Amino acid sequence: MNLKSCFQSMNLHIGMRNIKTAFAATLCALLYLFFGRNPTFACIGAVFGMGSDMENSQLHGGNRLFGTAIGGFLGMALFRFYIIFYPDGSTHPLILVLLFVGVVILILISQNVWPGAVQPGSVVLCILLFNTPVATYVSYSLNRILDTGIGVVIALAINYVMSKERVDKWRSSYRAKKTPHNK
């Protein structure tokens, strides 16, 4: 059994979206290697930002980017308030109140800015409130927003350059050059 029939028997298909997604994530990782930075959140942004077409990419990439930004800035503000009372950042019941208030505010902001931002924004908010050291919560949040933005932009650029229409046009042009013309 050859590889192609093995994939077919498992009903697997590697299409352009798979290739574009892998390319976007790999390009992010390569770019970040040059700067000695961890590419994790840029790669995640690229994967979330890749859709079947530009409209889908803008929707899902926007969800991730706006969610990360809203959750990041809101989380910084709430955590800053929290460490006024608990400078060491240790867990006390006040953090639960701030989480509740933060999720309500996040949903209200998202409803007016970008409705799909709630889930990714909540992830960033929870990480900031429960899992980020006091000394790095601002840099963590800003880096997370920046990295997500870079990943989403790379995904959008790749989806634009490698749109179905462009790829089909390139294929047609390539085939036309390979096929001898009858005169």
* Residue-wise pLDDT tens digits, 129-148: 999 999 999 999 999 999 99
pLDDT tens for 146-179 read 999 999 999 999 999 988 787 778 778 877 888 7
Task: Tell me how far CA of residue 122 lies from CA of 36, 115, 126, in angstroms.
Answer: 28, 12, 6
Residues of the chain above pLDDT 90, percent? 77
pLDDT tens for 39-55 read 999 999 999 999 888 99
Structure tokens at 180: 């001898």
Q: What is the mean pLDDT of residues 45-68?
A: 94
CA distance 155 to 42: 10
133 with 88: CB under 8 angstroms? no
- pLDDT above 80 for 183: no
Mean pLDDT across the chain: 92
pLDDT tens for 28-39 read 999 999 999 999
- What's phi and psi for 153, nearest 5 deg? -60, -40
- What's phi and psi for 120, nearest 5 deg? -65, -35
Q: What is the mean pLDDT of residues 68-89?
A: 97
Q: Poorest-confidence range of 6-15, 34-43, 55-64?
A: 6-15
Identify the CA nearest to 125 among candidates 181, 180, 65, 70. Answer: 70
pLDDT confidence of residue 182: 53
Give one DSSP letter per residue of the chain, joined into a string.
--HHHHHHHTT----HHHHHHHHHHHHHHHHHHHHT---HHHHHHHHHH--SSHHHHHHHHHHHHHHHHHHHHHHHHHHHHHHHH-TT----THHHHHHHHHHHHHHHHHHHH-GGGHHHHHHHHHHHHHHS-GGGHHHHHHHHHHHHHHHHHHHHHHHHHT-HHHHHHHHHHHHHHHSPPP-
- pLDDT above 70 for 181: no
User: Exposure string (b/e) for 104-123, b if CB count within 10 Å is 16 or more?
Assistant: ebbbebbeeebeebbebbbe
